[in-house]
Amino acid sequence: MSATWIVYFKELRESLRDRRVLLNTFIIGPLLGPVLFIVLINFITSRELDKAGKPLPVAVIGAQYAPNLVAALKQSGIEVQAPPSDPEAAVREQRVELVLRIPEQFAAEWNAGRVAQVELLFDSSRREGSGSVERLRNVVRAYAARIGAMRLVMRGLSPAVSQPLVIAERDQATAQARGALLFAMLPYMLVFATFFGGMFLAIDATAGERERQSLEPLLINPVVRSRILLGKVLATASFSVCSVLISLTAFAVASRFLPVDKLGMTLDLGVRFIAQVLPVMLPLVLLVAVLQTLVAAFAKNFREAQTYLGLLQILPLIPSMMLTLMPFKPQLWMYGVPLVGQQLVITQLLRAEPVGLIPLAICFAVTAVAGWLVLRLTQRLYGGEQLAIST
């Protein structure tokens, strides 16, 4: 067996006996994302479903001036409440969400066939209220339109007279794409699992080994140092792959049990999805493993390595944030940027869009080459004599 694999299996065996490493690689790293995801989706869906079905409480002033309108509101699931004494202040102080004021002259205007007016009091700075405002507004408008149409018919005109133009809305977002909005965090969570999965092994096998004074005896074995390094990198990468796989499986299981279809979305995160994502992630896993080994190998001790790798872990947040905050059309070169490319491809897979072979090849190849270059660099640096000496 070559030295690389001897080192590889020894690192795996040793790490598998470390409870802290196991916890981080197989539980915290891969499952943090899916758990967060389940909580978030459940929260969103239950809120949306609640809102649609629940009666909307609205304080109505002057309900006696427009009994028909009030009856129509009640029919549409609006709960008419007694008005507060000072409605403006009540809305401002968030005691009441919505107030509908029907003026005294409403009946006179209405009966005369002039434009009657109702006032809607709300606070647009309260985000969670915007849905309610929209709902009430639609109910009132629908009532007005119905009455308008009836008046036209009574005068022998077609209701179409007052509606020269209508907009027919056809949303081209597929059900998957709507789901992908919620899934924007999934690519980052996979990258997070990549970083977290290998981190502790990388530290333990390099900075940790030196701190425990076992690096010097190891390096005087009749083995080329770059082989030893490669064994350590591969062990780190293996843990990282495991972490990603567990994460993907958890997402797949979660997507089956979440009530996403009630939101008009479909999500397919099954075996096919995993089989497509895994090859995209592989070169990234290697690149990250080499980077972690490089950084940890030159830290003075365990603690310092932990600090550096913690900082390194923030790195993938940058492309994620950019993709979320400034949604731009992906350009071909972006697939060549490690971390960005993977996130783009996974997002597209989530949206059930076809990913071109060229972007896919660029994404794979550039990251793989980058990983190889950093590996060569690390192997060069690993040959230095200061590396082994711990005292």
Partner 1 sequence: MIEVRDLQKSFGDVQAVAGVSFTAADGQITGLLGPNGAGKTTTLRMLYTLMRPQAGQVLIDGIDAFTDTLAARQRLGVLPDARGLYKRLTARENIEYFAALHGVEPALAKSRIDALVAALDMQDIVERRTEGFSQGQRVKTAIARALVHEPRNIVLDEPTNGLDVLATRSLRRFLQRLRADGRCVLFSTHIMQEVAALCDRVIIIARGRVVAAGTLDELRAQAGESQLEEAFMKLTGADAESLA
CA 214 distance to own-chain centroid: 42
Q: Which of 1, 168, 325, 357 touches partner 1 (CB under 8 A)?
A: 1
State yes or no: residue 10 binds partner 1 (CB under 8 A). yes
Segment interacting with partner 1, rule: CB under 8 A, options 10-18, 158-166, 190-198, 358-366: 10-18
Q: How far is the CB of 314 from partner 1 (least distance, A)?
A: 30
Q: Which of 96, 215, 230, 362 touches partner 1 (CB under 8 A)?
A: 215
Q: How far is the CB of 175 from partner 1 (least distance, A)?
A: 49
Site for partner 1 in 357-386 (CB under 8 A): 385
Segment interacting with partner 1, rule: CB under 8 A, options 103-111, 219-227, 263-271, 373-381: 219-227
What secondary structure does DSSP assign to 233-278, as a single string? HHHHHHHHHHHHHHHHHHHHHHHHHS-GGGGT-----SHHHHHHHH
Helix (H, G, I), strand (E, B) or coil at 81: strand
Q: How far is the CB of 221 from partner 1 (least distance, A)?
A: 4
Interior angle at CA 167, CA 165 and CA 172, nearest 5: 160
User: Is the backbone of residue 213 left (phi > 0), alpha (psi -120 to 50) or beta?
Assistant: left
Q: In what helix (H) or strand (E) does residue 79 lie, and over which residues does it extend?
A: strand 78-81
Q: How far is CA 45 from CA 21, 41, 64, 143, 362, in A?
A: 35, 6, 38, 29, 37
Q: Work out the number of other CB atoms within 10 angstroms of the CB of residue 204.
A: 24
Q: How far is the CB of 308 from partner 1 (least distance, A)?
A: 22
For partner 1, give the closer residue by CB, 22 or 177.
Answer: 22
Segment interacting with partner 1, rule: CB under 8 A, options 186-194, 209-217, 257-265, 316-324: 209-217
For partner 1, give the closer residue by CB, 97 or 209.
Answer: 209
Helix (H, G, I), strand (E, B) or coil at 284: helix
Segment interacting with partner 1, rule: CB under 8 A, options 171-179, 218-226, 233-241, 324-332: 218-226
Q: Work out the number of other CB atoms within 10 angstroms of the CB of residue 62.
A: 17
Q: Which of 46, 221, 301, 307 touches partner 1 (CB under 8 A)?
A: 221
Segment interacting with partner 1, rule: CB under 8 A, options 9-17, 189-197, 281-289, 319-327: 9-17
State yes or no: residue 222 binds partner 1 (CB under 8 A). yes
**Total number of residues shown for the chain:** 391
For partner 1, give the closer residue by CB, 3 or 184.
Answer: 3
Residue with tokens 């497509």: 276
**Number of residues engaging partner 1 in binding (CB under 8 A):** 28
State yes or no: residue 224 binds partner 1 (CB under 8 A). yes
For partner 1, give the closer residue by CB, 111 or 386.
Answer: 386
For partner 1, give the closer residue by CB, 317 or 389.
Answer: 389
Residue with tokens 């507004």: 137
Count of H-run helices and E-run strands, the chain: 17, 4
State yes or no: residue 3 binds partner 1 (CB under 8 A). yes
Q: Are 15 and 235 spatial neighbours (Cβ–Cβ below 8 Å)? A: yes
Q: How far is the CB of 30 from partner 1 (least distance, A)?
A: 22
Q: How far is the CB of 219 from partner 1 (least distance, A)?
A: 7
Helix (H, G, I), strand (E, B) or coil at 100: strand
For partner 1, give the closer residue by CB, 6 or 61.
Answer: 6
For partner 1, give the closer residue by CB, 217 or 270.
Answer: 217
Q: Are 299 and 382 spatial neighbours (Cβ–Cβ below 8 Å)? A: no
State yes or no: residue 216 binds partner 1 (CB under 8 A). yes
Q: Which of 68, 130, 138, 214 touches partner 1 (CB under 8 A)?
A: 214
Site for partner 1 in 12-71 (CB under 8 A): 13-14, 17-18
What secondary structure does DSSP assign to 107-170, as a single string? HHHHHHTS----EEE--TT-GGGHHHHHHHHHHHHHHHHHHHHHHHHHTT--GGGG-S--PPP-
Summarize as ranges the residues that interact with partner 1 (CB under 8 A). Answer: 1, 3, 6-7, 10, 13-14, 17-18, 209, 212-224, 385, 388-391
